[in-house]
Amino acid sequence: MTNLSDKNTQCESRRGLRLALAQPWLAMLALVPMLLGSAFAQRDAVEGVDDGNYHYQGSFELGYRAVNTHGSHAIYDTFVNQQQGPRLLDETLNMRSLDHQGGLFDTLFLSSFGWGGDPENAARLRMSKNKWYDFNTTFRRDRNFFDYNNLANPLNPANPYIQVNNSPHKFETVRRMYDYNLILMPQSPVRLRLGFTRNNMEGPAFSTVHQGTDAGLFQNTRTLLDGYQFGVDFKALPRTNISYDQFLQYYKGDSSWNDQNFPFQLANGTPVDPGISYNIPAGQPCAAPVLDATTTPPTMNPACNGYQSYNRWAPIRRSN
Amino acid sequence: MNTKGLGRYIRFAVCLTIAVVLRPGAQAASAHQKTDKGQASFAIDASQYVGSDTCKTCHEDIYKNFEATPHWKTTLKQHAGAAQGCESCHGPGKAHVEGGGDKSKIFTFAGADEGEVSKRCLSCHEYGEERSNFERSEHSSNGVSCVACHSPHHAREAQGLLVQKQPELCYSCHTEVKQDFARPFRHRVDQGLVQCTDCHNQHGGFLTKLLRSTAAQDQVCFKCHADKAGPFAFEHEPVKTEGCVACHSPHGSTNPRLLKRAQINLLCLECHTLTQDSGTPAIPTFHNQSQKYSACTLCHTTIHGSNFDAYFMK
């Protein structure tokens, strides 16, 4: 018997122990650092300090995320996916030149949140110098966990040979997005714009392929999109802005799929996968799939639909 | 018009354009002329301006806030001329001062006509792709002026001088959207990962719903979901013709894939049903919906488009 969840170790690597906080006071105690951090952050945000030619304002929120889950952890992770542990919940830094004539920059604003294990992190930076440039950049990372088993419908017949304990399309991917935008001479009649963006997604997942039967596949997801931008604006006439933009995009898809579930064999010993849909009355994978149940693994009827192996790698390159 | 006449007309047009562009102070003058009721109803008279230092004597707290914002740049030399600092936006202040602080003698944004407010802001901010379409936007046409979201003197958010942080600012009007993001499956707007303005250009654009488009002028969804953009050897036509929202409810849904229907099969059947009017192929007879309880996408895994299978199975 093959258990599809046994193949999940690559998907489960991030899962840790969960502390059950039965006492409400313990949960309240965990909130204290966060509340203190928030209070300090508010006070600092109002006051700030002057040093040299800059005014500084900053805040940070440190906290501890206490998690108490009961029931399906898979559903919790699919919906919420916030795990236990210390966090840098939020952080900001605001610098402003006192005479608006700073050296490298007149203003700088940095903010970020979610560091330490939260599924969503982001950092944003903006710098500008009057008349010279305006630069902003963003980094975002989001962990996407999905294990919503759409085969868990009780009307679906149970599969005695392949226990589908997870969604056949489960995934645990990470998307990282980078955005950089620079405007040169933002207040002049002619200004230049430069931009770069990167979108990278990778991680393990499950998928299926339907050819006679539905084979459960392990999918190694890897995609990358790079985008470049060059633009120029002309402010020649009142209330008129003439812009020229050139965009270049390069997409790279390197995902691969392979079958790792072979709970049957043929009479000659060749491993075979009958698929994850097992509904004999409906002929899936066939009316009589088991030829000999006494062998290990069971011997499958060669007239049935099944896979002896499946590998697919489909590198895709696209530019526009 | 003969060729000679046409050439003369073109030369005249070019000379006129150059004259307008090179006219001294053309930008500054035009900006201020249109700020009063949108028409050139007042000429710039330097004697009517008192300067920001005069304003500061009574409005010190406001000046302190103003000094910390990018608008302070309006006091720099590049704005030399009559209107600088406070009077760049509020207009000449001499009558206001001589009237003992009479509010009717100076332009105040609070309570002013929304169109007039926006015109004053746009006189500087309308250039660039972000805000040049504001006057044709749904926000503008529904009476939402700049100061509904921005506060030059009392901003809570330093970036953009916003009166409130996203998404709460947007939720303050768009309450129906707020509940969308409370659904079980949603884009992570409340968590801060995605902002409303990542997908929407609140200042207006060329698409409905104030939607942005990607660099390649595709739907904004493809900026993040790049693997769905294609082009594919086998396209699922609705992706290209009707767009992502033909099937998806992008803000939030009870369906794990943000679909418009909780059950995938029902969504697919809305098009894939044999009718006389639709060219969409109906589901084949061996897809007995009374026996199949699995989602269509269990087998049709590459439903957005495929390079390998016309039926989107791989």
- What was the pLDDT predicted at B79? 57
Q: Is the pTM of this model over 0.90?
A: no
Does A66 lie in the same domain as A174?
no
Does A102 lie in the same domain as A178?
no
Are the beta carbons of A237 and B308 separated by less than 8 Å? no
Does A318 lie in the same domain as A232?
yes
Task: Provide the sign of the torsion angle of the four alpha carbons B157, B160, B162, B167, taken in this order.
Answer: negative
- What was the pLDDT predicted at B41? 39
Are the beta carbons of A199 and B223 separated by less than 8 Å? yes
Query: Over 80: is that where the pLDDT of B220 sits?
Result: yes
B310 close contact with A: CB closer than 8 A: no
Q: Which two tokens stand for residue A254?
A: 């390197």
Alpha helices in B151-258 (DSSP H): 168-171, 175-180, 196-199, 221-224, 237-241
Is A105 domain-assigned? yes
- Last residue of some domain: A84, A102, A129? A129
Is A110 domain-assigned? yes
Does A209 lie in the same domain as A62?
no
- Last residue of some domain: A72, A101, A129? A129
Residue range A147-173: average pLDDT?
78
What mean pLDDT, rounded, does chain B reach?
A: 81
Q: Looking at beta carbons, which residues of chain A come within 8 Å of B291?
A: 279, 282
Of B128, B297, B299, the CB nearest to A241: B128
**List of residues 6+ apart from B24 with CB closer than 8 A:** none
Q: Looking at beta carbons, which residues of chain A come within 8 Å of B294?
A: 150-151, 153, 156, 277
Instruction: Summarize pLDDT for B275-289 with one digit per residue, the tens.
Output: 766 677 777 777 777
**Among the listed ranges A140-144, A146-150, A267-271, B111-115, which one has the minimum average pLDDT value?**
A146-150
Does A154 lie in the same domain as A303?
yes
B158 close contact with A: CB closer than 8 A: yes
Task: Provide the sign of the torsion angle of the four alpha carbons A299, A301, A302, A308, taken in this order.
Answer: negative
Is A10 domain-assigned? no
- Domain around A302: 131-320
Does A137 lie in the same domain as A248?
yes
Angstrom distance (rounded) from CA A212 to CA A135: 55
Does A279 lie in the same domain as A147?
yes
The percent of residues above 70 in pLDDT, for chain A, comes to 83
Query: Over 50: is that where the pLDDT of B37 sits?
Result: no
In this prediction, residue B10 has a pLDDT band, given cuts at 50, 70 and 90, of: low
In this prediction, residue A278 has a pLDDT band, given cuts at 50, 70 and 90, of: confident
In this prediction, residue A37 has a pLDDT band, given cuts at 50, 70 and 90, of: very low
Is A14 domain-assigned? no
A175 close contact with B: CB closer than 8 A: yes
Which ipTM was obtained for this model?
A: 0.78
Does A250 lie in the same domain as A170?
yes
Higher pLDDT, B63 or B35: B63
Is A138 domain-assigned? yes
User: How many angstroms separate the Cα of A12 from the Cα of each of A201, A204, A293, B122?
Assistant: 18, 10, 32, 53
Q: Letter for the amino acid at A88?
A: L
Of A100, A195, A223, the CB nearest to B73: A100
Is A15 domain-assigned? no
Does A145 lie in the same domain as A282?
yes
Reported as type and span, the H/E element at residue A118 is none
**Strand, coil or helix: what is B282?**
coil
- What was the pLDDT predicted at B27? 42
Asked if A30 and A66 count as a contact pair (C-beta separation under 8 A), the reply is yes
Does A74 lie in the same domain as A143?
no
Tell me whether strands A49-51 and A213-234 are parallel, antiparallel or unpaired. unpaired
- What was the pLDDT predicted at B18? 58
| Count of domains for chain A | 2
Instruction: Summarize pLDDT for A38-95 with one digit per residue, the tens.
Output: 444 444 445 789 999 999 999 999 999 999 999 988 889 988 899 999 999 999 999 9
Does A257 lie in the same domain as A137?
yes
Higher pLDDT, A14 or A209: A209
Instruction: Summarize pLDDT for B139-186 with one digit per residue, the tens.
Output: 999 999 999 999 999 888 888 899 999 999 999 999 999 999 999 899
Angle between helices B114-125 and B26-33 (to 10 degrees): 170
